[in-house]
């Protein structure tokens, strides 16, 4: 009898469908993997499905499928959420380029996804936002995130909104970026070296999202940070220690950073998009002037029953490639010890 119940429950779980917008991105792919393992059918809604085929092996044949959708387009979003029991929106941008403006993607896009999800009858909704989201922020990024949250709640009041700090993991754009710079440059320029961050492991964010999808998390806003709070400069020192390289951490004053960012932003506009400012934008300078840590009174991992992962447990698993001897660093160190080298 128990076996029959188990089989029945399995069939019910397998019939559940989730649509993940941005499901092939840094955070989305981890959410897709976790939900596939739990038996959900997963639609990975992206602008370029042909570039997201790597998600298909996350589940059984046909369980995980990339589909075409653009959060700026009503028809494609409505089609993507049709029949979905749950919807997750992971779409976000760090800087503006072309038609992908902060407001269009992170405000209007998020609201559109929530509205279509509600109209389609989805029972749960998870929005990936960011610590610092605020409709009144001077930063376009943070302002659009705040407006996006408001838009989501207007159409889906029971939504679970996750606000992570800087996210780290194998494919991150933070530690990988600066480790690459440390490989080639003797100097690491840092804007806002005393600004505090609370880096959070990407799979922990995914675990929180899954709780929102399955209804295990009560509706509301959760701020997600790891166990360590460190300044920007301390994070760079940590990274350099892991990759076993030396570099001068150069503090760039905010006034100088604003000038440099303004020039780079102008070049992007003047080149009609041929040049993309991937270095630092004026908006990012504004963000770096503020701490990026979990608020004392915010719901967090503790309210979700999740123990956040320490950076020490993860960074070496993917930053080893930036060491002078790469994967052979440990062997080289052992050889030095055998020879008695310092």
86: Cβ contacts below 8 Å, ≥ 6 apart: 16, 17, 18, 19, 40, 122, 123, 124, 125, 126, 213, 214
The domain segmentation of the chain, as residue ranges, is 2-171+198-227+291-309
- Going from the C-alpha of 302 to that of each of 311, 326, 341, the distances in angstroms are 18, 37, 47
- pTM of the model as a whole: 0.90
Which pLDDT tens digit goes with each residue over 26-69?
Answer: 999 999 999 999 999 999 999 999 999 999 999 999 999 999 99
- Going from the C-alpha of 313 to that of each of 169, 226, 238, 255, the distances in angstroms are 11, 12, 13, 37
pLDDT at 5 over 80: no
Confidence of residue 10 (pLDDT cuts 50, 70, 90): very low
Which pLDDT tens digit goes with each residue over 74-130?
Answer: 999 999 999 999 999 999 999 888 889 999 999 999 999 999 999 999 999 999 999
Which residues are 67's β-sheet partners? 45
Taking the C-alpha atoms of residue 70 and residue 15, their distance in angstroms, rounded to an integer, is 25
pLDDT at 277 over 90: no
Helix (H) or strand (E) holding 334: helix 329-339
Q: Which CATH architecture has domain 2-171+198-227+291-309?
A: 3-Layer(aba) Sandwich (3.40)
């Amino acid at each position: 009898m128990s076996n029959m119940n188990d089989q029945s429950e399995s069939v019910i779980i397998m019939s559940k469908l989730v649509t993940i917008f941005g499901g092939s991105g840094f955070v989305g792919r981890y959410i897709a993997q976790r939900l596939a393992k739990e038996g959900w059918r997963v639609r990975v809604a992206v602008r370029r499905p042909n570039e997201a085929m790597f998600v298909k092996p996350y589940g059984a044949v046909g369980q995980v499928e990339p589909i075409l959708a653009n959060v700026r387009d009503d028809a494609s979003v409505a089609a993507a959420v049709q029949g979905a029991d749950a919807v997750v929106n992971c779409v976000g941008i760090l800087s503006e380029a072309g038609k992908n403006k902060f407001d269009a993607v992170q405000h209007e896009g998020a609201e559109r996804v929530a509205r279509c999800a509600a109209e389609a009858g989805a029972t749960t909704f998870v929005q990936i936002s960011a610590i610092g989201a605020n409709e009144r922020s001077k930063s376009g990024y943070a302002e659009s995130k705040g407006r996006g949250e408001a838009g989501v709640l207007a159409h889906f009041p029971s939504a679970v909104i996750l606000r992570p700090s800087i996210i780290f993991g194998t494919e991150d754009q933070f530690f990988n970026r600066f480790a690459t710079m440390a490989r080639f440059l003797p100097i690491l320029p840092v804007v806002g070296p005393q600004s505090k961050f609370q880096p959070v492991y990407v799979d922990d964010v995914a675990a929180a999202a899954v709780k929102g999808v399955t209804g295990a998390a009560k509706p509301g806003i959760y701020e997600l940070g790891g166990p360590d709070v460190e300044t920007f400069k301390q994070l760079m020192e940590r990274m350099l220690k892991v990759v076993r390289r030396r570099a001068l951490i150069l503090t760039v004053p905010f006034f100088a950073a604003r000038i440099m960012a303004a020039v780079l932003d102008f070049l992007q506009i003047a080149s009609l998009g041929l040049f993309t400012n991937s270095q630092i934008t004026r908006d990012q300078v504004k963000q770096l002037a503020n701490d990026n840590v979990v608020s004392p009174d915010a719901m967090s991992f503790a309210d979700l029953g999740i123990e956040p992962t320490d950076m020490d447990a993860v960074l070496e698993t993917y930053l080893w490639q930036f060491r002078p001897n790469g994967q052979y660093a440990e062997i080289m160190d052992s050889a030095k010890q055998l020879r008695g080298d310092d």
